[in-house]
Amino acid sequence: MVEKLWGGRFEASLDKQTEEFGASIKFEQRLAPFDLKGSLAHVKMLGETGIITTEESQKIAEGLKKVEEKLLNGQIEFKMENEDIHMNMESYLHQEIGPLAGKLHTARSRNDQVATDMHLYLKSILEAVLEALKGLRETIVKLAVNQIDTIMPGYTHLQHAQPISFGQHLMAYYQMLTRDFERFEFNVKHTDMNPLGAAALAGTTFPIDRMLTTKLLGFEKAYDNSMDAVSDRDFILEFLSNASLLMMHLSRFCEELLLWSSHEFKFVSLSDAYSTGSSIMPQKKNPDMAELIRGKTGRVYGNLTALLTVMKGLPLAYNKDLQEDKEGMFDSADTIITSLTVMNGMLSTLTVNRVNMEKSTEQDFSNATELADYLAAKGLPFRKAHELVGLLVLDCIKKGIYLQDVNLQDYQMLSPLINEDVYEVLKSRTAVSRRNSLGGTGFESVKKLIEEAKKELQI
């Protein structure tokens, strides 16, 4: 007989390399508090249903609490030979109360046990993610409040398109992160489910009370199908998918911060607390934290792709392949929470160069649409107005001037519809202030957007 908790039918032991290959304890250690929480609920249920005696239930619970105390005090040594978190915890329970520890595993399997651990773990992570996301959204709103009337070039194809409010630009990211928040909120629904009691896959013959463990563990509901309970990893895939979308949004924002803080733009300056220097170039101030968030996006994408690939060919119910569900989940959780925290810090300490932003809209042709709209408002078909302005822009480029530099006589030669009021229309600040259509970049429109966000956030 092999000296394993499952070793009764085995005559030969695993060789060392194979044992290490199959063991998951090296990355499952963070599940320890959740494993103990699940065991405490399970043993209470065993006692209350009479599957074991009340005295046995109490003694096992006392032993589990002693193991929990050792865990909190850093006195637990996780051993490879015990394979996983469940057997490691059970071995310490055995040290505390002896053979009675074996009764804890009545009416459960490591299959439903590990699923329960991960639901509990991810539920706690989702709480942290939602809190961090709310904090970042609040920071964006607070930054946007002071940048409503800051004018900057809006871009399409990374070319100057039309002048916009920097406040609106910031609030675009608020909208993205709000959608992320809503996705993670929905993720909670499928995470807040109890697999405990599904046993290996078919349930159990013991008269367990799954509603009791659901209540004790704080889950919203129990799985309706025991096979689904032990094999479902959709809640993790939802998390990884949501994490990938979140990191994509953060990466896009970081890309803009990198551009804006460059010598060519000089739109913003990042705090020294979120920058590094060069070992050879004394003048350098590198936006490494923004680059790292952009870079770490790839690893979160990879974790999603990896688990999707693991899951795509698995027959019901549990398979050892499912051991591969944890490392990517842990890594993505660490990555997004840290990225949200760092992003929050970068934005809350950001210095905005309003002068450079607005100046960049005065030395370009981002006001060309204003001239076309001006002509269209006076009755000229927009397509004809577009053509005339395009020809004028080409002429200005050849002369090295901008639309606001064209004299009134030349404008009236272009079209008699143009009067002296055109110069006010061509100002970038005027262009922004007039665009108050729903969702537009006009100052009043952006103010409304920010007020709505404040109500959502209750700030």
pLDDT at 27: 86
At 65-119, the pLDDT tens digits run 999 999 999 999 999 889 899 999 999 999 999 999 999 999 999 999 999 999 9
pLDDT at 1: 40
Span 414-435, average pLDDT: 96
Sort strands 221-222 and 193-194 into parallel, antiparallel or unpaired.
Answer: parallel
Q: % helix / strand / coil in the chain, to the nearest 5?
A: 65, 5, 30
Average pLDDT over residues 295-324: 97
Point out the catalytic residue in the list 190, 278, 433, 437. 278
pLDDT at 2 over 50: no
Mean pLDDT computed over every residue of the chain: 95
Average pLDDT over residues 323-340: 97
Among candidate residues 39, 157, 244, 386, the one labeled active-site is 157
For domain 14-106, give the fold.
Fumarase C; Chain B, domain 1 (1.10.275)
Residue 204 CB contacts under 8 Å (≥ 6 apart), including other chains: 107, 108, 197
In the residue annotation, 94 being an active-site residue is answered as: no
pLDDT digits (tens, 9 = 90+) for 353-393: 999 999 999 999 999 999 999 999 999 999 999 999 999 99
Section 39-59 average pLDDT = 98
- 154 near 366, Cβ under 8 Å? yes
pTM: 0.93
Q: What would the pLDDT profile of 197-228 be if each residue is shown by its tens digit?
A: 999 999 999 999 999 999 999 999 999 999 99
pLDDT of 3 strictly over 60: no
Radius of gyration of the chain (CA): 31
Supply the pLDDT for residue 12: 56
Task: Give the C-alpha separation, 126 to 185, whole Å.
Answer: 8
Delimit the CATH 1.10.275.10 region(s) of the chain.
Answer: 14-106
Pinpoint the residues of the chain covered by CATH 1.10.40.30.
368-457
CA–CA separation, 391 and 414 (whole Å): 10
Instruction: Provide CATH 1.20.200.10 ranges for the chain.
Output: 111-206+224-359
- The lowest-confidence range among 9-23, 55-69, 273-287 is 9-23
Residues 233-245 have a mean pLDDT of 98
Tell me what pLDDT residue 431 has.
Answer: 96
Alpha-carbon 203 to chain mean position: 35
- CATH node for 368-457: 1.10.40.30
Q: How many CB atoms lie within 10 A of CB 79?
A: 13
6-40 confidence digits (pLDDT tens): 455 555 565 666 656 657 788 899 999 999 999 99
Q: How far apart are CA 136 and CA 147, in angstroms?
A: 17
Check residue 120 and give its pLDDT: 98
Q: Is 278 labeled as catalytic in the residue annotation?
A: yes
Bond prior to 317 in cis (omega within 30° of 0): yes
Is residue 122 within a helix (H) or strand (E), and if so which, with residue range?
helix 110-145
Q: Mean pLDDT across the stretch 271-291?
A: 94
> Per residue in 130-175, pLDDT tens?
999 999 999 999 999 999 999 999 999 999 999 999 999 999 999 9
Which CATH number applies to 111-206+224-359? 1.20.200.10
